Amino acid sequence: MRAVVQRVDRASVTVDGVIAGKIGRGLLVLLGVGENDTEEDISYLANKIAGLRIFPDEEGKMNLSAMDLNLEILVVSQFTLYGSVRKGFRPSFTEAASPEKGEDYYGKFSRELEKTGLTVQKGIFGAMMDVGLVNQGPVTILIDSEKTF
């Protein structure tokens, strides 16, 4: 699994002009599911993100997590995180999970995050979504459950 995690002041996802998910201060997580991902990847990534210390403490040092501050998380499915442009200019998505697996793991990942006690909002799997955000910092972290980066 791959995630782009952004520290935000606010974020929302809209589908057909209707807000599907909206948060205040917290994390926007763009989530990609790979064809070889397992349920262990779900747990690893959810725990890593919930505990990620990218919020400033009283001294301004990035030392606090979303769990420490009881913040919100907005999770948006994004299979294009598995797009490869190693050959040519058109992305290949052969490493992305099937839509069925992607939707299943997207739901399981969101529920795993909810187990931490955090409020989790979601987009709509497979929909054309408009994502809006105010990135605070800016702070953007890339996480891969295979630990390739």
Residue numbers annotated as active site? 78-80
Burial zone of 120 (CB within 10 Å; 0-12 exposed, 13-18 middle, 19+ buried): buried
**What is the spatial distance between Cα 120 and Cα 28, in angstroms, rounded to a whole number?**
10
Comparing CA positions, the residue from 100, 139, 130 lying closest to residue 22 is 130
Q: Give the CA distances from residue 53 to residues 5, 27, 33, 66, in Å, rounded to whole numbers and listed in that order.
A: 12, 11, 23, 8
DSSP string, 70-122: T-EEEEEE-GGGG-B-SSSSS-B-TTBPPHHHHHHHHHHHHHHHHTTT-EEEE
CA atoms within 13 A on the CB side of 45: 31
